[in-house]
Amino acid sequence: MEWFDVNDKGSELGLPPIQEFKVHQAEALRHEPLLDVADEEAAGTLLRVVHSDLIGLGTNGPVKLWRGGELATAQKALVAVLWRLGFELNIPWRDADGFRDYWAAQGCSGSWQARRLLVRQVLDPAFDFLDGLEESRIRDELTTGVTSRQSLGWPAVDAEIAGLRQRFQTARSAQDYRDVGNRCVAVVEALSAAVYDPSKHLRDGETEPPVAKSKQRLERYVEGSLAGKENLEVRGLATKVINLAQAVKHASTPSRRDAGIAADSVILLVNILRRVDQDQ
């Protein structure tokens, strides 16, 4: 994720390009998550920008947030996005001038190393928190099929699974986990649209069930593709997975475990039915 635009308008005069901080992006992040960028990623990249600038200020090094108010804007956005992620960051200065006053009050006027340590004391807990989130995300990674296909060959299903994975990674609250349930249902509906064929699965006198009736559509597909007593458990699996996704979607206080189990189950069902479809 980029936090700077490159302004090379002075190149004709032989001037080097200037990096300009994306103030509007920071202001937007302060109020809500950015489109297509997870708060965790935004927080990590912005934290590194703020850290680098504070070290530069404290050691007479290079700084990028040099225009009036840019450091203050970046810090406010950083505090806000970390709060949404569940971490309260307290920065005891408002801007560059405030940082200078603070380090003077802390007896760090004559030592660059003391100022580096000062910055670390304030920002290292945020780095530790984000590292912990990343480790949790890796441990909580949703399942893949045994063949670990990059694509299942059903574009709409692939897109819904990608959205489900992204939503689960950023989910932190009960409301988020309910939305994971919504994404699970969307995967099931896309799956039913991919496998249900009226010419094969519609019985005499019936009308084609809408995509929203995914349970009915998938049950009919499974009945036709996995007939026989030996496939009884697999047929029952589809029904149970759909019921599980619906339960998380409508639960009042679903947990991360609930959402993860539902998401894993849906992804496994997709992989199972993809294998059935390919083997026919």
| pTM flag (> 0.75) | no
User: Could you tell me if residue 146 is inside a domain?
Assistant: no
Q: Are 216 and 100 in contact (CB under 8 A)?
A: no
Do residues 135 and 76 share a domain?
yes
As for how many domains the chain has, the answer is 2
Residues 109 and 168 both lie in one domain: no
| pLDDT score for 10 | 66
User: Per residue in 159-218, pLDDT tens?
Assistant: 999 999 888 887 878 888 999 999 999 999 999 999 988 888 888 888 888 888 888 888
Average confidence (pLDDT) over 146-170: 82
The answer to whether residue 147 scores a pLDDT higher than 60 is no
Last residue of a domain, which of 114, 139, 164? 139
**Residue 124 sits in which domain range?**
4-139
